[in-house]
Structures are given as structure tokens and as C-alpha cells.
Amino acid sequence: MRLALALLAISAVACDDNAPAEPAISGERVVEQVDALHRVDAWAHYKHGDYAAFTAALEAITEKNPLPKDVYNLACGYALTGQPEKAIERLTWLVDRGTPFLMLHDEDLDSLRERPDFIALVGRLETYDKAEEYLRPARKIAMKHYRAGDHEAFILIMEKLAPLSDDHIDTYNLACAYALSGRNDEAIAALERLADVGKPFKIADDPDFDGLRGDPRFEKVLARL
């Protein structure tokens, strides 16, 4: 009902020739507003224990714009409605992108915990935690180079470290170093990887990316982040 009323209001404004001029709303912004309304309805269903309706609402949201948080909640919905294969598929997608959220402790996923494929995902997360013990000292050395302005030395370390890390700030910092070194293609590629996994970094005001401003590819990825 909220969605229907919102669309009706948009239609009424569009048809009123006497209405005062309003700034144009982009199609992307309208989609965001509609998705937000769907989320409100989804959580209302969740709170009332209607997990099938909750899941259906999230399927509609993630079909065109699979943000990690929505995909995680959809995985929970699948687990709660007896669709374990679909739940595991979504959780795998999240682990691949380093965004497991609360899957280790979330009660909504309890029905999955004895499954070998879920246990394997947990094993991957534990491996990332162990790897972090080894990555942390290398990251510390890399950041010393970065602060000293030796961006090439920083890049040399981080190109090996970032693919092993589940912390997306490593990829972000690598993008910064690429940009500061004039390696624009690689900087854009790193930022696109962040956009692909739905990480909302605020790059618009970061002076490290001043060398990219005006590049249409940067403006495009900026809109996604």
C-alpha cells in the first residue's frame, strides 16, 4: 500500500501542469526510493513472522540491485522458509566479496549449521581470520611507505596483500596509491571492484583521486559508490 500511494503521488505531481517547478529526480533516485519502501514492507513482514512475504520482498529488491546487506537478509529469508540451497548460494556470494555480516552467529541461519556447505563457508571465514595475523605486519610496513610518499613501494606490497584480505579498505588504499602514481586505469579498476561488492566508500572528497576527476569512468564509479 505504501508503494502504491508513493507511485500515485509521483504520478499526480507529474500530471499537475500548475505545480511549481521541482528539481528533476533521476530514474536511479526513484528506484532507490521504491527499494526503500520495499525494505520497510519486508521488515514489517519479518517482525510479524511472515517470512515468505519477507523473502519475496527481498527477492524483488535484489533482482536488479543486489546490495550485500539485502542479499544477506534474503539468505536469512531462504533459511527461514526451508530453502537451504538458495540460502547457501547467497551466503557464498557474500563470502566471495568479503561481506559475511553476522552469519557465524545469526539465529536465522541455525537450520543451515549442520550442512557441509555451510561448514565449508565457516571454514573459509576462519581461514581469513588466520590469514589476517600474517597480513597485519605487512600492512603496517606498507602504510609506512604510503605515509612517506613512496607509493610504488606501497603498491608492491598491497598488490600481493589485498587479494588475500577480506578487508576492503586494503583495495581502497591500493586504488588511492594507483591514482597518486598516475596509474589511472588500475585505480579505476580497483574502485570498480569495490562498487561491485557494494562497499559505500566516500571517494568524492578524497584528494588522492584528484587526478581522476573529469575522467568519465571515475564519474561513473563515483555514482555507484
Residues 89 and 139 in one domain: no
Asked whether residue 152 is domain-assigned, the answer is: yes
Last residue of a domain, one of 113, 143, 176: 113
Model confidence at 204: pLDDT above 80:
yes
pLDDT of the residue at 28: 55
Q: Is the pLDDT of residue 203 over 90?
A: no
Copy the grid coordinates of residue 19. Answer: 505545480
pLDDT, tens digit, 9 for 90 and up, residues 27-40: 555 556 767 888 89
* Same domain, yes or no: 142 and 77: no
> By C-alpha distance, which of 211, 204, 203 is closest to 180?
211
| pLDDT at 222 (0 to 100) | 87
Cell of 3: 508503494
Q: Answer yes or no: is 204 within a domain.
A: yes
Predicted confidence at residue 31, as pLDDT, reads: 56
Query: How far apart are the C-alpha atoms of 93 and 96, rounded to whole Å?
Result: 5
At residue 20, does pLDDT exceed 90?
no
Q: Are residues 142 and 212 in the same domain?
A: yes
Would you say residue 125 lies in a domain? no
Take residue 181 and report the three cell numbers written for it.
Answer: 602514481
Domains in the chain: how many in total?
A: 2
Query: Does 18 fall in a domain?
Result: no
DSSP 8-state secondary structure symbol assigned to residue 26:
P
Assess whether 146 and 218 both reside in one domain. yes
Q: pLDDT digits over 167-194, tens only? A: 889 999 999 999 999 999 999 999 998 8
The pLDDT of 97-117, averaged and rounded, is 90
Task: Give the confidence band of 7 by pLDDT, cuts at 50, 70, 90.
Answer: very low
Looking at residue 95, its pLDDT comes to 86
Same domain assignment for residues 138 and 216: yes
**Per-residue confidence (pLDDT) for residue 34, from 0 to 100:** 67
Q: Roughly how many angstroms between the first and final C-alpha of the chain, as a whole number?
A: 30
Look at residue 80 and tell me if it is in a domain: yes
The pLDDT tens digits for 205-223 are: 899 999 999 999 999 998 8
Q: Which residue type, as a one-letter code, is found at position 116?
A: P
Query: What are the pLDDT digits (tens) for 127-137?
Result: 777 778 888 99
210 and 138 in a common domain: yes
- 71 inside domain: yes
Per-residue pLDDT at 144:
96
Q: Is residue 24 situated within a structural domain?
A: no
> Residue 80 belongs to a domain with what CATH number?
1.25.40.10
Query: Which pLDDT tens digit goes with each residue over 142-164?
Result: 999 999 999 999 999 999 999 88
Residue 9 has pLDDT above 50, yes or no: no
Residue 90 shares a structural domain with residue 172: no
Is residue 139 located within the same domain as residue 219?
A: yes
Q: What is the pLDDT of residue 32?
A: 66
Mean pLDDT of the chain: 84
Question: Do 141 and 219 sit in the same domain of this protein?
Answer: yes
pLDDT of 99 over the 70 cut: yes
Do 156 and 217 belong together in one domain?
Answer: yes
68 and 145 share a domain?
Answer: no
* Contact (CB, 8 A) for 197 and 99: yes
Cα(58)–Cα(35) distance, integer angstroms: 9
Q: How many helices (H) and strands (E) does the chain have?
A: 10, 0
Q: Is residue 23 part of a domain?
A: no
Domain stops at, among 79, 113, 147: 113
Residue 86 — pLDDT band, cuts 50, 70, 90? very high
Q: Which domain holds residue 95?
A: 31-100+109-113
